[in-house]
Amino acid sequence: MTGTNGDKQLSRIVLNGFKSIARCDLELHRVNILIGANGAGKSNFISFFHMVGQLLEQNLQVSVSRLGGPDALLHFGRKTTEQLDFQLYFGNNGYFATLEPTLDNRLMFVRESFWRNMSGEHEIGRGHFETLALSGTETRIDSYVVPTIQQWRVYHFHDTSDSAYVKQPHGINDNGYLRTDARNLAFFLLSLPGIISENCQNNPACCPNIWGFLPASLSTKQGGY
């Protein structure tokens, strides 16, 4: 593990009441490895980041419905867990939210706020159903936190069934970037030699390190296929 990168790097996460995670308080670094037995909660932890991404796209309620409603997200349901609470720290800045289930099976913000180590918590609203974090604040904390979260991409290739997207036919030209469900994994890997060679023309020193991580079948021709 290596150190964090200032206020652009998620440095700590506090998560309470999410799926199989009753309580969690982790300090994070640039590289973090989750190790645990089946059913330990690794996939649930990763899925939290997907939920936060949907939240900041103002798509929380649709996402909650697709996942089975609030009781599917709360730790053992609302009878056991009344609130889903999280705190995301980015060095000296942070984003906090507390969500409660409603009778019509939505999640409502009972607290949403930004945080700064020198001035504490700055509440931006309560009683709403989609985030207010995009509306801007006078604290400028949002200018550090929101763009960082919006750049997150969750790659979780856990579906190995016959119907998995990675096993379905897909367009060979869809290789500009790796899709989060891995549906274009084969064609993205096929395009890597060309992508790397083009980038290494601008930074030759990186090439030996990058090619060392590629399988021999991809790295034998460093400019073509």
Which of 102-116, 131-145, 206-220 is least confident?
Answer: 206-220
Average pLDDT on 193-202 reads: 64
Q: What is the pLDDT of residue 182?
A: 85
Round to whole Å and give the CA distance between 162 and 194.
30
Rounded to the nearest integer, the mean pLDDT of the chain is: 86
* Sheet order of strands, 120-125 included: 21-27, 12-18, 84-90, 93-101, 107-116, 120-125
Average pLDDT on 193-218 reads: 58
Q: What is the pLDDT of residue 206?
A: 56
CB 26 within 8 A of CB 4: no
**Cα-based angle 209, 212, 217 (whole degrees, multiple of 5):** 140
CB 11 within 8 A of CB 89: yes
- For the chain, percent of residues with pLDDT exceeding 70: 83
Q: Per-residue confidence at 213, pLDDT binned at 50, 70, 90?
A: low
pLDDT tens digits, 54-100: 999 999 999 999 999 999 999 999 999 999 999 999 999 999 999 99
Residues of the chain with CATH 3.40.50.300: 6-150
Residues 6-150, CATH architecture: 3-Layer(aba) Sandwich (3.40)
Q: How far is CA 19 from the centre of its chain?
A: 16
pLDDT tens digits, 126-146: 999 999 999 877 788 998 899
CB 185 within 8 A of CB 178: yes
Q: Looking at the predicted structure, is the pLDDT value of residue 177 above 60?
A: yes
Q: What is the pLDDT of residue 221?
A: 46
Round to whole Å and give the CA distance between 161 and 4.
36
Q: Looking at the predicted structure, is the pLDDT value of residue 105 above 70?
A: yes
Average pLDDT on 109-131 reads: 95
